[in-house]
Structure 1
Amino acid sequence: MLRYTLMRLGIFVGCLVVVWGLVYSGIAPRGLGDSNGLWVILLALVISAPISFVVLRKERDRASVQIVGKVDRMKANLDANRTQEDSADDAVRAQSQTP
């Protein structure tokens, strides 16, 4: 998961540098007034999102499999704990009902 996040951040930073260069050189339009920094960041986000979606597909699928595995293990642990609690509760009730 960390690898995917770092790769996505790298793509964004790369797009940010390219967009900043295009705006600085005058090829891409500047923002209105003092909004140039925000304009560059938003434009880099819009450009990096589809690139990340296509380029990082395999890494995203790998991260998804890891997350599903962790969720399944947590569910299994919760079910096991619930079963232990039910067994202990049933044993206490059975013991208290015997005369």
Structure 2
Amino acid sequence: MSAGKSSAAIRYTALRLAIFVGCLVAVAGLVQVGAVPKGLGDANFAWVILLALVISAPLSFVLLRKQREAMSQQISTKVDKAKSRLEANRSQEDGAA
């Protein structure tokens, strides 16, 4: 896989991670000031992570639409090229037989 072909996937993943980390920091801050409940018993850390995941998922879905479409287009192009190579190989095998 060349660097140009994986750039959309790397960019999308990095942006998703950045959104999650931002949500994690925001939720942790809200928990510290008491705006959000601290969770149940000793589950504070798990609660903060779970809440950050729940918040970051729809944000990523909406905010990263363009990057997701670019990544999807790259994957689709790669699949189409692989299919055409496979078909070419099959036709060469049929011609040799």
TM-score class normalised by the smaller sequence: 0.7 to 0.9
Deviations for 1:45-85, whole angstroms, at most 9, x for unmatched residues?
A: 11111111111111111111111000000111111111111
Q: Which consecutive residues of structure 1, in runs of 5 or more, have no partner in the other structure?
A: 90-99
RMSD: 0.8
Instruction: State yes or no: 1:62 paired with 2:80.
Output: no
Output the CA distance in 2 between the equivalents of 1:13 and 1:20: 10
Q: Which is greater in Rg?
A: 1
Query: TM-score normalized by structure 2?
Result: 0.87
Displaced runs of 4 or more, over 3 A: none
Output the CA distance in 2 between the equivalents of 1:83 and 1:43: 53
Output the CA distance in 1 between the equivalents of 2:13 and 2:84: 27
Alignment of 1:17-32 (within 5 A): 17-32=25-40
**1:43 Cα deviation from its structure 2 partner:** 0.3
Alignment of 1:7-86 (within 5 A): 7-86=15-94
Output the CA distance in 1 between the equivalents of 2:91 and 2:42: 62
Q: Which consecutive residues of structure 2, in runs of 5 or more, have no partner in the other structure?
A: 1-8
Figure out how many residues of one structure are paired with residues of the other and give that number.
Answer: 89
